[in-house]
Amino acid sequence: MLTKEETHNELFTMGHTGCSGCAQSMSVKLIMEILGKNTIATSATGCLEVFSTRWPESSWKIPWIHSLFENSAAVASGVEAALKYMGKKDGITVIAQGGDGGTADIGLQALSGMFERNHDVLYICYDNGAYMNTGYQRSGLTPFDAYTTTSPSGKESFGNNRPKKYMPEIAMAHRIPYTAVSSAGYPIDLQKKVKKAMTIKGAKYLQVDVPCVPGWKYEPKYSVRLAQLAVQTGLYPLFEAEYDKIISVKKISKKVPVEEYLKLQGRFKHLFKDEAGRAEIEKIQKMADENIERYGLM
Amino acid sequence: MKQVLEGSMAIADGVRMAEPHVISAYPITPQTHIVEHLSQMVADGDLKAEFIMVESEHSAASVVLGASACGVRTYTATAAQGLLYMEEVIYNIAGMRLPVVMTLANRAISAPINIWNDMQDAMAIRDTGAIMLVAENNQEAYDMHIQAFKIAENRDVMLPVIVNVDGFVLTHTFEVVETIDGIDKVREYLPPINMEYKLDVENPYSFGTLGEPSVYMESRYNMYNAMKYSAKTITDAANEFNDMFGRFYGGLTDTYKMDDAQTVIVAMGSVLGTIKDVVDELRESGKKIGVLKVRSFRPFPEEEIVDALKNVKNVIVIEKAICPGKGGILSVEIRDSLFKHKINTVNVNGYTIGLGGRDITPKNIKDLVERAEKEENVDGEFIGLSQQYL
């Protein structure tokens, strides 16, 4: 549990233009509570940047910089280098933020560079599984069979025909000191991982599952529920790793069938139309089961 | 102290004298020697800086962007393809008004791939909002880098400065360079960087926010105005440098043997050396010819150029670049400047020469002088083509 002194409210303030039920803005608020005011943040182009910094307004009460889509990690590397030069690095946490596209697609090179050089930066990927800011186009982290505007379902298609890129494993392959996966559905887990990351020197990667109301097409009240179901089905394993070794996983007490997760979301509704769709749901169930096996979730 | 220095070493040493705090780069010929020298200086403790060797030019520019936003002095260097890869970031640096200084070792653009000198890379970024200076020789390159930081960090400017140096012709050539003895005088000339807005936990600002249609134009206008204002800063920086170190190469432009000149050759960069030799020779034979050197390409020195050329008969613009679909670039801007000032008595001919490192010989220049008097309004014509490859 966090004491009152350990929380620093209002560093990411209300008044932004995020959607009702936005799990990303919820997560940012939770993360900022832990990070505190001695933090400098970079953001990639994306929802977060757009909805939190409409000039002359800004929701950030910490120093914050957005440059471009693909360079959040490189800009943060520069911030860290400047702090090092000034001898201020020890008291200040540097975070870099991006969406799934800004992280795992267009920003992957800059992120890999930041990992390899082991900058003392916590990189946070808010994963909502598509390019939501531009209108729900597929990314490398879009889940299998999800409808997006560029992976639509149709007579010849069940939606996105590839599984999600294993981005946390890509981070681990760099042998960075800390990699973690968390979820907007588990605030305590999320805050614990941020807190731990702050104690580790070097490059850290945190990926957070953040359901997206308009992109996933569900009622805003289900944001937290969906994030929890993603974990309880095995589709979104939460774990921590040090270097290339997984050191902890969030166990599933009672496995939930993937159908329970999929049926709440418009992006999967085409799977519930006919027998062929049912077969696809079976494939997704298999992926969840493989995750449970692979990460030892039960 | 006078030393025989490779151009890249002269540049690196000029940069060292300016004491940048964060340097980031990615290797590309012909920029490599500059960053090699700088990394050695850091390794030897001769330069106290964070040197970040990154995985791409895009990240090199992004690292100095992030560092600069924290209020420290920053430097990077690149060429050709690397410049094009960082172009997006250069626009961003200029838009955020960050005083990054960068060397551009001018090199041809692919395809076909070619590592040798011309100025097509520089021309590709002329609208980014970066100040673009062009050095003629290694001594000017050394001095210009020190001036560049002073210009960039001026509170009324706050824009990136790109120092153009011809790849190989300057970067890999040894010349006598007089370096400055002792860093104290440089510190006096170039005071510590002091930015009004920076990433600081004690006084948090948001950088790079969303500019909606109601505010975007004003932001660009302020940047446009700062660029215009920088003309004064560039001239002041050159004059102050002259006062302190006794070397001067002109402010935005420089003239050579222009008194009574009827024909004037306009150019940028190292080719001016060859041009001046030719002009000396032609002057000896009684020809009234002079040279106008463009030292600042952005901001474009319209007034100075018009002033220098308004009473001239023939202007020959020698350009190591081409604008496909139009023709010359520098020549067109010169013609436009004269037109705006209602001067229609000057015959401006623009020639494209020396692309991809092809030698520009004294004979090439002499031929153009002869042609220019007989031709009108030539626009970017290619000089010295081999018929067999066309």
> In the structure, what pLDDT confidence band is assigned to residue A9 with cuts at 50, 70 and 90?
low
> In the structure, what pLDDT confidence band is assigned to residue B279 with cuts at 50, 70 and 90?
very high
A61 and chain B: CB distance < 8 Å anywhere? yes
- Kind plus residue range of the DSSP H or E element containing A98: strand A93-99
Q: What is the pLDDT of residues B211-221, one digit of tens each?
A: 999 999 999 99
Q: What is the pLDDT of residue A199?
A: 97
User: What six digits make up the tokens of A128?
Assistant: 């909502």
Confirm whether A74 is domain-assigned: yes
Structural domain count of chain A: 1
Helix (H/G/I), strand (E/B), else coil: A288 = helix
Relative to beta strand B253-256, strand B50-53 is unpaired
Confirm whether A71 is domain-assigned: yes
Confirm whether A11 is domain-assigned: no
d(CA B55, CA B261): 51
Mean pLDDT to the nearest integer, A130-141: 97
Q: What is the pLDDT of residue B187?
A: 98
Mean pLDDT to the nearest integer, B40-57: 98
Q: What is the pLDDT of residues B253-262, one digit of tens each?
A: 999 999 999 9
What domains does chain B contain, in order, with CATH numbers? Answer: 2-245 (3.40.50.970), 253-389 (3.40.50.920)
Q: What is the pLDDT of residue A10?
A: 83
d(CA B152, CA B149): 5
Does A4 have pLDDT greater than 80?
no
Give CA torsion, residues B332, B334, B339, B341, to 10 deg: 160
8 Å CB contact of A76 and B49: no
Q: Mutation test of the interface with chain B: which of A11, A57, A65, A90, choosing the one with the most B Cβ atoms within 10 A?
A: A65
With beta carbons under 8 A apart, name residues in chain B contacting A54.
209-210, 212
Q: What is the pLDDT of residues B336-388, one digit of tens each?
A: 999 999 999 999 999 999 999 999 999 999 999 999 889 988 999 999 999 99
Does B327 have pLDDT greater than 90?
yes
Does A8 have pLDDT greater than 90?
no
Residues 6+ apart with CB under 8 A from B315: B263, B264, B265, B266, B309, B334, B346, B347, B348, B349, B372
- Comparing CB atoms, the residue among A38, A74, A86 nearest residue B62 is A74
A93 and chain B: CB distance < 8 Å anywhere? no
Mean pLDDT to the nearest integer, A211-225: 98
Strands lying side by side in the sheet with B50-53: B50-53, B22-25, B74-78, B101-106, B161-166, B131-134, B296-298
Asked if the peptide bond before residue B191 counts as cis, ω within 30 degrees of 0, the response is: no
Mean pLDDT (chain A) is 96
Confirm whether A154 is domain-assigned: yes
pTM value > 0.90: yes
Please give the share of chain A, as a percent, with pLDDT higher than 70: 97
Q: What is the pLDDT of residue B259?
A: 93
d(CA A17, CA A25): 10
Mean pLDDT to the nearest integer, A126-135: 97
> In the structure, what pLDDT confidence band is assigned to residue A14 with cuts at 50, 70 and 90?
confident
Handedness of CA A231, A235, A236, A241 (dihedral sign): positive
Q: What is the pLDDT of residue A5?
A: 56
Q: What is the pLDDT of residue A7?
A: 47
Confirm whether A4 is domain-assigned: no
d(CA A79, CA B294): 36
Confirm whether A259 is domain-assigned: yes
With beta carbons under 8 A apart, name residues in chain B contacting A62.
201, 204
Q: Which domain does A44 fall in, by range?
A: 23-295
Confirm whether A290 is domain-assigned: yes
Does A6 have pLDDT greater than 90?
no
Angle at alpha carbon of residue A189, lines to A9 and A259, rounded to 5°: 120
Which CATH number fits the domain that encloses residue A119?
A: 3.40.50.970
Does B34 have pLDDT greater than 70?
yes
With beta carbons under 8 A apart, name residues in chain A contacting B59.
71, 74, 77, 109-110, 113
Does A2 have pLDDT greater than 70?
no
Residues 6+ apart with CB under 8 A from A64: A40, A41, A42, A43, A53, A58, B199, B204, B205, B206, B207
With beta carbons under 8 A apart, name residues in chain A contacting B92.
67-68
Q: Which candidate, B81, B118, B103, B165, places its Cα nearest to that of B318?
A: B118
The answer to whether ipTM exceeds 0.90 is yes
Q: Which candidate, A11, A9, A98, places its Cα nearest to that of B206?
A: A11
Asked if the peptide bond before residue B30 counts as cis, ω within 30 degrees of 0, the response is: yes
Q: What is the pLDDT of residue A1?
A: 46
